[in-house]
Structures are given as C-alpha cells and as structure tokens.
C-alpha cells in the first residue's frame, strides 16, 4: 500500500490520518482532480484507531438531529456502491431496532425525523416486539422503531477498501507520523517524525483520537478520547435466534447499550455506549476490565436470557474521540489559513464517512455551505453530550 517517496513534490492536499474520515476525505479530494497524499502513523483502520475493529452500525435515527439522519441516508448508498466496485460483501442489512419505553423523547423525535427525511421504518408496539423477537426480554411499556434498510458495516475492511480505491485512482500513501505545525498564516510544509518534509497547498488533519495530541493548544479539552470496551459472546451451537434475519442490530438508549447480531460467525456483539475514562491511543493496554464484563454479562442475562451464560469469544478496547456535545468538528485551524481540522466522530461517526468526505472536499474547494454545528467555536471544554 505504501507509495514511493517523491522528493520535492508539492501536493494539492495532504490528508493526515487514514481512518474513515481521512480515507473518505482523500477519496473525494482525489476524485475532484486534486493530487493527494494520505498519511497515517500506524496504517488504515489499525488496531489503535477509532475506525479499527470488525463492525460498525449504520442507522438513520438521530432524534431531532436531522443533519445526521440526512448524512446517514446519503452515506449508505455510497458505501454500497464502493463495496460493489470492490466485489466484497462489507454491508449486512440486518435491520436496526430501537428499543424504547413510553415517554422517551429521543425515540419520539426519531420517528418524526425519519418521516420527514423519507427513511423507511416501522413503529412496533410492545406486543409486536414480543411476537417478532421472542429471544429478547422487553419491559411492559416497551415499544420500538425498526429501520429495515439499516445494518452493519464491516469497518476495518471497509476503510481499507476506501484507501485501496483512492490509491488505485492516483493518490499516494505514506506510513508516517507528523509533528505539530509551528507558526501562523500559511503553512508551506509539515515535518514527519522521520525527518522528512511534506509540502502541500492544503493540509487536512483527520487524526481521530490523535487530534488533541497534534494540536494540544487548540483542541486539548475540546476533544476527549474515552476508553470503550466491546464484547463478543458465543451463541449456542446451531442457534439461529441471534443471527440475521432473526436478530437485528439494536440500540437501547435508556440502558446505554447497543449490539450487533452474530455476523460471519464472530459472535454476538454488545457494548456499553456510556463514555469510559480518558485514554492515550498510543499506549493504552487493550484488555477489557472485569467490571465491564460483569456489567455486560448481567445485561445479557436480563435482556437476552438464552445468552446469560454464553462464553466470551472475543473482546476489544477501542475509543471514542468526543467533542463537548458529540457534534463533528470540521473547521480551519485558527492560526493557519490552509489547515483544516476534521474529527470528533464521538462514537457515531463511522457510518458518515462518505458524506464527511464530500463535505470536507467542498469546504476545501470553497464551494460548500458550512454547517455551523461543526465549527470549532461550538466546541467547549466541558463534556455535555447531546448527540446519540
């Protein structure tokens, strides 16, 4: 995947970070005719990256946050077109089930937004939930929203396919870490930790959990990287109740839990959506905690009784890079006219990769309308999560 070095070459754009945001940004910039260099310290969708791991949910529901519903709706066909070109099955249409209880405003707002944007969905009563999903234990006052066209993206491989197509179409790639830029005004070049100089007309820093490390003065405190643990449980032999089509992907906001059915025989995935403690993505030990395992196992026994004693078959420790409220960050660096800061996936960003790439490419070219919610000015030092 590495490209040969091009001494003295000046690129139109250098994109630093080959996670889902950086990969799709490079893809769309290259597609627009620009010469693009993509850099990443550890490699596309590596195990330390927020875009690493096997699977990510793609769903349309976002409460009243219409911008994200529209971005998800735009992104899904772009993902599917990419996978078709690559000849790989990297999207599973499992359906997406929102588990809700009476009086939950987020779920009610989701219904209204899905209808407004034109997303297909079913509203399910408690009786309908119990009949359709007998393997799930619901509360008495439960109801649900099913997005039948939503599902799961195979994350690690999906990002690698984005990068591969981008390089096939003429972009270049370097496995390099970069130093924090110094100065003000117009940035002419950046230095890599190996001592090389990279020259470009525009620099896009899409470094995920490393953004506050590269720009501590600007983003320290505004993006907080949290430790998030993921568990896979082995389903009973021959039991198809926890695989598609019997089991959808699901989210329960009240419980701060989400899960993905048994895909590719990897196990039943479940994770706590609540933000964990801060971590350093370079040095964090990727071993799950006994406390979170106990929490998840107790939840399995309550919500999926047949899996209460299921064995753990795989675990992962990843991270969210959280902005103060969960909105994305796409804005110019306050000290450099040709440096863009792109990140703040905040645990929900992966699905939006194609739309993010289109948006950043339009911002760089000056042809796009800026979304005020993505501005640096809206990012505070205190965590007040508002996007789910």
pLDDT of res. 7 = 56
pLDDT of res. 4 = 44
Phi, psi (rounded to 5 degrees) for 105: -70, -35
**Angle, vertex CA 354, rays to CA 352 and CA 355, nearest 5:** 65
Phi, psi (rounded to 5 degrees) for 85: -65, -35
Note the pLDDT tens digit of each residue in 224-234. Answer: 999 999 999 99
Question: CATH code for 10-51+156-223+325-378?
Answer: 3.50.50.60
Q: Supply 205's token pair.
A: 């820093």
Note the pLDDT tens digit of each residue in 298-326. Answer: 999 999 999 999 999 999 999 999 999 99
Per-residue burial over 314-325, b = 16 or more CB atoms within 10 Å of its CB, e = otherwise: ebbbbbbbbbbb
Name the residue with tokens 């209808």: 115
Longest dimension (CA), the chain: 68
Residue 319: its H or E element: strand 312-323
pLDDT of res. 263 = 98
Report how far residue 282's alpha carbon sits from residue 279's, in angstroms, rounded to the nearest whole number.
9
8 A C-beta contact, residue 142 and residue 131: no
8 A C-beta contact, residue 231 and residue 315: yes
Q: Supply 332's token pair.
A: 């110019």
8 A C-beta contact, residue 218 and residue 341: yes
Note the pLDDT tens digit of each residue in 286-303. Answer: 999 999 999 999 999 999
Note the pLDDT tens digit of each residue in 32-47. Answer: 999 999 999 999 999 9
Task: Count CA atoms within 13 Å of residue 307 on its CB side.
Answer: 30
pLDDT of res. 8 = 73
pLDDT of res. 1 = 55
SS3 314: strand
Splitting the chain (388 residues) into consecutive groups of 10 residues, what average pLDDT does each group show? 61 98 98 98 95 96 98 98 98 98 93 98 98 97 98 98 98 96 96 95 97 96 96 97 98 96 98 96 96 97 97 97 97 98 97 98 95 97 90
Between helices 20-31 and 353-365, what is the axis angle to 10°? 50
Strand partners for 98: 145, 251
Complete edge-to-edge strand list for the sheet that includes strand 122-124: 122-124, 142-147, 96-101, 249-252, 257-260, 268-272, 223-233, 312-323
pLDDT of res. 80 = 98
């Amino acid at each position: 995947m590495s490209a040969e070095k091009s001494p003295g070459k000046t690129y139109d754009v250098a994109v630093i970070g080959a996670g889902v945001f950086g990969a799709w940004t490079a893809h769309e910039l290259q597609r627009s005719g620009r010469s693009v260099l993509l850099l990443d310290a550890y490699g596309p969708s590596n195990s330390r990256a927020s875009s690493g791991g096997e699977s990510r949910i793609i769903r349309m529901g976002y409460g009243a946050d219409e911008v994200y519903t529209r971005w998800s709706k735009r992104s899904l066909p772009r993902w599917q077109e990419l996978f078709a070109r690559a000849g790989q099955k990297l999207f599973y249409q499992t359906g997406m089930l929102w588990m809700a209880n009476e009086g939950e405003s987020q779920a009610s707002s989701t219904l209204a937004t899905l209808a407004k944007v034109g997303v297909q969905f079913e509203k399910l009563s408690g009786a309908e939930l119990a009949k359709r999903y007998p393997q799930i234990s619901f509360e008495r006052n439960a109801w649900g929203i099913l997005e039948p066209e939503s599902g799961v993206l195979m994350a690690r491989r999906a990002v690698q396919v984005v990068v591969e197509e981008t390089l096939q179409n003429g972009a270049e790639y370097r496995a390099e870490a970069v130093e924090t830029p110094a100065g003000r005004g117009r940035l002419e070049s950046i230095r890599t930790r190996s001592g090389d100089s990279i020259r470009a007309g525009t620099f896009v820093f899409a470094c995920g959990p490393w953004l506050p490390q590269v720009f501590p003065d600007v983003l320290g405190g505004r993006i907080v990287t949290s430790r998030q643990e993921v568990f896979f449980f082995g389903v009973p032999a021959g039991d198809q109740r926890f695989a598609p089509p019997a089991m959808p992907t699901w989210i329960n906001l009240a419980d701060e839990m989400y899960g993905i059915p048994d895909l590719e025989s990897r196990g039943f995935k479940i994770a706590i959506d609540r933000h964990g403690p801060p971590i350093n993505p370079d040095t964090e030990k990727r071993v799950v905690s006994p406390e979170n395992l106990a929490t998840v196992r107790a939840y399995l026994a309550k919500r999926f009784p047949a899996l209460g004693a299921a064995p753990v078959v795989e675990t992962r420790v990843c991270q969210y890079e959280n902005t103060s409220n969960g909105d994305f960050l796409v804005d110019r660096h306050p000290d450099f006219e040709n440096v863009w800061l792109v990140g703040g996936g905040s645990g929900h960003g992966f699905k939006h990769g194609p739309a993010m790439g289109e948006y950043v490419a339009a911002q760089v070219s000056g042809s796009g309308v800026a979304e005020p919610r993505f501005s640096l000015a809206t990012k505070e030092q205190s965590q007040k999560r508002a996007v789910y």
